[in-house]
């Protein structure tokens, strides 16, 4: 009787070979599933950020309907200039004593949709007050408006933007941050309505004319004098192509740092992309290709006469094919 019981117990167990087979199958399944789960999570994050850009676009359009222009309240002459070298009109901190000289277009967007400016009557100065963010815009005439977007404290920066990779050359005014696990500024470019061409190095192009967009709007984030922002960049070193080649220091730089009409929107030309092909319409060809200046002047800009929003996408590098943009896919 005892022999029969022992036989039944032995028959119900697993042999070592069977256990090893099961473990091998589980290992194979895990190896297959981990990349799949990672891709699903990435797609979910992309969808969240795309929805975030849609919400910001909605606020921009409400601003436009109300104000007759695209946000924010500060004219371009008040904002950061990469090469112009002219002093910007004075904007001060909350105390009215420290001048803010590197206000960016992305920060101007927050000032327009959420607010943050006030007039200090004692000094008669325009000041940034962080306690005013979320209370609505104050324009240069001192008129106050209701916010054009609900404030999400987790989706704006606190002071000058920085992460473990470096710091941006911006001011203490916040900018919108995308909702990836390592948040980065959402770049905002406001078109020079009614101008020709695509983009210039600074406010005035080399031929003396304004273009639709200007490099200065995003340069404080793509360049950075104290590092290259973007914690957790995942682009591979061997993907970089001149002129945005990998430096010897091993820092992963961003694209969109130069304006070169000779560049194309393909990885064999320049990658991360140059700002010109990135903003150039891929469906409307230039009418004059005799010189780089004429290519720029006679090309059509994406989202002409409106605005552009850019998230660095999952790889945390501006100017790459996975960027999430208000104009749609970067590469055709």
Report yes or no on 28 lying in a domain.
no
Report yes or no on 285 lying in a domain.
yes
Is residue 147 a contact partner of residue 111, using CB atoms and an 8 Å limit? no
Report yes or no on 12 lying in a domain.
no
For residue 185, what are the CA distances in angstroms to 67, 114, 239, 282?
A: 25, 16, 23, 26
pLDDT value of residue 24: 83
* Dist. CA 7–CA 1, nearest whole Å: 10
- Output the tens digit of pLDDT for each of the chain's 332 residues: 455 554 554 555 778 887 888 888 888 877 777 776 677 788 999 999 999 999 999 999 999 999 999 999 998 888 887 655 555 667 898 888 888 888 999 999 999 999 999 888 777 788 999 999 999 998 877 788 999 999 999 999 998 999 998 999 999 999 999 999 999 999 999 999 999 999 998 755 556 678 999 999 999 999 877 778 999 898 888 888 877 677 666 678 999 999 999 999 988 888 999 999 999 999 999 999 999 989 999 999 999 999 999 999 999 999 999 999 999 999 98
Report yes or no on 233 lying in a domain.
yes
Q: Which residues span the domain enclosing 223?
A: 33-325
In the chain, DSSP assigns E strands to: 117-120, 125-128, 162-163, 166-167, 187-190, 196-200, 211-214, 307-311, 324-325
pLDDT value of residue 83: 57
Report yes or no on 196 lying in a domain.
yes
Peptide bond between residue 243 and the one before it cis (omega within 30 degrees of 0): yes
pLDDT value of residue 228: 86
Report yes or no on 112 lying in a domain.
yes
pLDDT value of residue 1: 47
Report yes or no on 16 lying in a domain.
no
Q: Which residues pair with 280 in a beta bridge?
A: 301
pTM over 0.85: yes
Is residue 279 a contact partner of residue 308, using CB atoms and an 8 Å limit? yes
Report yes or no on 5 lying in a domain.
no
**For the chain, what is the domain count?**
1
């Amino acid at each position: 009787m005892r022999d029969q019981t022992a036989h039944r117990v032995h028959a119900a167990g697993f042999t070592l070979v069977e256990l090893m087979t099961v473990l091998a199958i589980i290992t194979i399944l895990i190896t297959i599933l981990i990349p799949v789960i990672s891709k699903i999570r990435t797609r979910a994050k992309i969808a969240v950020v795309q929805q975030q850009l849609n919400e910001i676009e909605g606020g921009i359009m409400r601003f436009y309907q109300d104000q007759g222009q695209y946000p924010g309240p500060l004219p371009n002459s008040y904002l950061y200039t990469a090469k112009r070298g002219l002093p910007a009109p004075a904007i001060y901190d909350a105390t009215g004593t420290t001048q803010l000289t590197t206000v960016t277009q992305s920060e101007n967007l927050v000032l327009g949709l959420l607010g943050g400016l006030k007039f200090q009557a004692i000094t008669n100065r325009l000041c940034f007050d962080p306690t005013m963010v979320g209370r609505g815009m104050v324009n240069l005439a001192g008129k106050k408006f209701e916010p054009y977007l609900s404030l999400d404290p987790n989706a704006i920066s606190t002071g000058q933007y920085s992460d473990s990779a470096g710091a941006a050359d911006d001011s203490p005014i916040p900018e919108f941050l995308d909702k990836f696990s390592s948040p980065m500024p959402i770049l905002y470019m406001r078109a020079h309505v009614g101008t020709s061409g695509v983009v210039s190095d600074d406010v005035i192009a080399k031929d003396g004319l304004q273009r639709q967009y200007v490099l200065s709007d995003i340069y404080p984030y793509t360049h950075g004098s104290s590092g290259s922002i973007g914690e957790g960049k995942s682009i591979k070193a061997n993907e970089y192509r001149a002129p945005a080649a990998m430096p010897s220091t091993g820092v992963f730089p961003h694209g969109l740092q130069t304006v070169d009409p000779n560049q194309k929107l393909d990885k064999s030309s320049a990658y991360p992309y140059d700002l010109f092909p990135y903003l150039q319409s891929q469906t409307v060809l230039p009418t004059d290709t005799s010189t780089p200046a004429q290519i720029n002047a006679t090309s059509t800009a994406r989202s002409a006469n409106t605005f552009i929003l850019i998230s660095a996408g999952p790889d945390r590098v501006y100017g790459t094919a996975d960027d999430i943009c208000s104009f749609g896919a970067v590469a055709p």
